[in-house]
Amino acid sequence: MKKIIITGALGQIGSELTMKLRELYGKDNVVATDIREPKDSKVVTDGIFEQLDVTDADRMKALVEKYEVDTFIHLAALLSAVAEAKPKLAWDLNMGGLLNALEIAREHNLKFFTPSSIGAFGPETPKDQTPQVTIQRPTTMYGVTKVSGELLGDYYFQKFGVDTRSVRFPGLISHETLPGGGTTDYAVDIYFEALKNNAYTSFIGKGTYMDMMYMSDAVDLIIQLMEAPSEQLKCRNAYNVSAMSVAPEDIEREIQKHLPEFKLTYEVDPVRQAIAESWPNAIDTSAAQEEWGFSPQFDLEKMTNDMLQQLNNKEI
């Protein structure tokens, strides 16, 4: 990677990935884009930033040509709960934006990354040690767009030779950005509320296990995957990745080691609970480990320590 363009750069992944890429490759070599342009964001003020609606293919192409990029990281998408509430918008944005980006990657011979998700699985998928290659019949619009995205990535690689790469992200936990409408968002909210109110009401039910990952691991693995030699990659669209499989009560116990009075209660959201129950409990990440050395650094204990420390420093 020498010159990189990122869509959705103000989102949960993009806001941290953009800053890390600028640190590694230089501010002048990372072009951040988003449909919004908040003037108080470091993503906007601390490097190249361009406003972009990813459904505008002409504007996207013009930016790729203007900055002569060689790598395209496409993050712009609606997340699971929002996508379920607005399915047509989710299809138009998630698939229309992705197809625009892939076409431009084909035309300009760009290395290409877009994330998939554990949402690409469904209720018929094996729940435990979910294989890399398995049945994928999601029951949400978000999941449908993610499976479609995986297939499109494979198609553009096999048909046109586009160097497409992807991972199936689990729930991502970050101290930098607030949740954006995902089913796993409780695992971010819980830390903020623990420090503010010493209590949290979970919209996901007790005993509901889902895969999770700390954002610093997610950022690092994108860079690691994009720098891996192409010939090593067999399951390129998309690799199972995860750092931990946790239920709400697991996070509660870990927080109570730091805040003994913390209390977790439940008020289950039927929509997000149904989505969570259609996803795996814990996935098999061996393909990513073997093909490009995936190895997350944060488990639940280490992540909780860092989350609470970072949020304390911000005086939320």
Amino acid at 288: A
Amino acid at 295: S
The secondary structure of residue 280, as a DSSP letter, is -
Question: CA 199: distance to chain centroid?
Answer: 27
Dig out the tokens for 98 from the structure.
Answer: 């992705």
Q: Which residues are catalytic?
A: 142
| C-alpha span between 186 and 198 (Å, rounded) | 15
| C-alpha span between 275 and 273 (Å, rounded) | 5
**Angle CA(100)–CA(219)–CA(161) in degrees, nearest 5?**
40
Residue from 295, 283, 279, 244 nearest 131 by CA: 283
The secondary structure of residue 183, as a DSSP letter, is G
Sign for the pseudo-dihedral over CA of 3, 79, 16, 216: negative
